[in-house]
Amino acid sequence: MLHGKVAFLEEELSKSRQDATNYHQLSDRVAKELKDLKDHDQQMRSKQMKVLSDLLIAVSKAERQEARMRIRQESFRLGNVGVMRAGTIISEIWEDGQAIKDLNSHLKSLLETKETIERHRKSLKKRQSDKGDGSDAETSMSEEDIVLQDEICKSRLTSIKREEEQYMRERDRYELEKGRLIREMKRLRDEDGSRFNNFQILHHRYALLNLLGKGGFSEVYKAFDLVEYKYVACKLHGLNAQWSEEKKQSYIRHAIREYNIHKTLVHPNIVRLWDIFEIDHNTFCTVLEYCSGKDLDAVLKATPILPEKEARIIIVQIFQGLVYLNKRGQKIIHYDLKPGNVLFDEVGVAKVTDFGLSKIVEDDVGSQGMELTSQGAGTYWYLPPECFDLSKTPFISSKVDVWSAGVMFYQMLYGRRPFGHDQTQERILREDTIINARRVEFPSKPAVSNEAKDLIRRCLTYNQSERPDVLTITQDHYLSYAKK
The residue from 19, 130, 297, 336 that is catalytic is 336
Helix (H) or strand (E) holding 77: helix 2-78
Q: Helix, strand, or coil here: 168?
A: helix
Please count the CA atoms within 13 angstroms of the CA of 89 that sit on its side-chain side: 3
Give the distance, in angstroms, between the CA of residue 96 and the centroid of all CA atoms in the same chain.
27
What is the Cα gyration radius of the chain?
A: 35
For residue 221, which of 204, 198, 241, 252 has the smallest C-alpha distance? Answer: 198
Q: Helix, strand, or coil here: 244?
A: coil
Distances (CA, A) of 398 to 137, 322, 337, 395: 83, 8, 11, 11
Q: How far apart are CA 150 and CA 140, in angstroms?
A: 16
Could you give the residue ranges of the DSSP H alpha helices within 79-142? 98-133
Residue 432 Ramachandran class (φ > 0 left, ψ -120 to 50 alpha, else beta): left
- Give bridge partners of residue 285 from the DSSP assignment: 236, 277
Measured N-to-C along each axis, helices 308-327 and 399-414 cross at an angle, to the nearest 10 degrees, of 170
Q: How far apart are CA 230 and CA 51, in angstroms?
A: 15
Quick check: 308 and 453 in contact, CB under 8 A? no
Quick check: 333 and 358 in contact, CB under 8 A? yes
Q: How far apart are CA 164 and CA 169, in angstroms?
A: 9
Q: Is 235 marked as a binding-site residue?
A: yes
Q: Does residue 336 have an active-site annotation?
A: yes
In the annotated binding site for ATP, the residues are 235
Instruction: Please identify every residue annotated as catalytic.
Output: 336
In the annotated binding site, the residues are 235
